[in-house]
Structure 1
């Protein structure tokens, strides 16, 4: 078991089988030592787990849980592409998209759900640059979508 897989197990997290693309794209592209992971939705064992707009009935805590689940799905995609999470040198960047009602401005608090999880799992190599963007809608009514860039050994 890789060190990162052990850390996930210690946290009680089991990575799912990665989601298949919903359109004409691939879930991961590697160029050189950079691995780009396509946007991941908060998909769980029973499908899409978090829907709605932040600031219009969906609370920040639910958005954070959605972002965390997106980060879990990101790591599942990394594992599927690399075969070994210990090949991660560092998380370079996360971009979080938050379905936001007009006037909602706490996107950074929501995307912290993904950022905090990545740092919790990867430690210092999980510290990353980031964008947190409010959008009017996301695919399938998802509350949050997160994409990532990793440096891979």
Structure 2
């Protein structure tokens, strides 16, 4: 039997990928009490890693899609950690990091790709606090990286 969140993912046409293994000396997630901390996820999908710099060679729309892919990967890690996504009681905080050119100021529009998906998938429990930070480079040349803190039961 699938849960409510799994049904919502199917309704959205989303299939969760196999969670990606860490690329350095860290773990994909840690649990402290009833909080799940998921390490930053890159925009890696079946087509590969979305690379580039917002405001230079990546559009805001492509950045939004990349952040959405990061969120799908975060949800896959949450499922691996919790077993059942219906255990999520709140997406507490998202941190979005955007590789961008000097003068680029649309980080919030890019980060909305992850934020919007969390609300689509988890409803009111998906509403969260957030940081959207611009940086000159991200690991492996990724355009976006997103991490999350989730409360669960």
> Residue 2 of structure 1 aligns with which residue?
3
Q: What do residues 7-33 of structure 1 show as CA deviations (whole Å, max 9, x unaligned)?
A: 000000000000000011000000000
Match of 1:38 in 2: 39
Q: Aligned partners of 2:44 and 2:3: how far apart in 1? A: 24
Measure how far apart 1:57 and its partner are. Answer: 1.6
User: Is 1:94 paired with 2:77?
Assistant: no
Distance 2:20 2:48 in 1: 10
* Deviation sequence 1:64-120 (CA, Å, 0-9, x none): 000000000000000001111001011000000000100001000000000001001
Consecutive unaligned residues of structure 1, counting only runs of 5 or more, are none
Post-superposition, which runs of at least 4 consecutive aligned residues in structure 1 deviate over 6 A? none
SS in 2 for 1:52: coil
Q: TM-score, normalised by structure 2?
A: 0.98
CA distance in 1, matches of 2:57, 2:42: 19
Query: Which residue in the other structure is 1:118 paired with?
Result: 118
Q: So what's the TM-score if we normalise by structure 1? A: 0.98
Q: How does 1:50-69 map to 2 (within 5 A)?
A: 50-69=50-69
Offset at 1:46?
Answer: 3.6
Residues in 2 aligned to 1:106 and 1:28: alpha-carbon distance in whole angstroms: 29
How many residues end up aligned between the 2 structures? 152
* Alignment-derived partner of residue 26 in structure 1: 27
3-state SS of paired residue (1:67)? helix
What is the CA distance between 1:45 and its match in structure 2?
A: 1.9
Offset of 1:152 from its aligned partner? Answer: 0.9
What residue ranges of structure 2 are gaps of 5+ in the alignment? none
Say which SS state the counterpart of residue 69 (structure 2) adopts: helix
Who is 2:107 aligned against?
A: 107
- Which residue of structure 2 aligns with residue 12 of structure 1? 13
DSSP-derived class of the 1:26 partner: coil
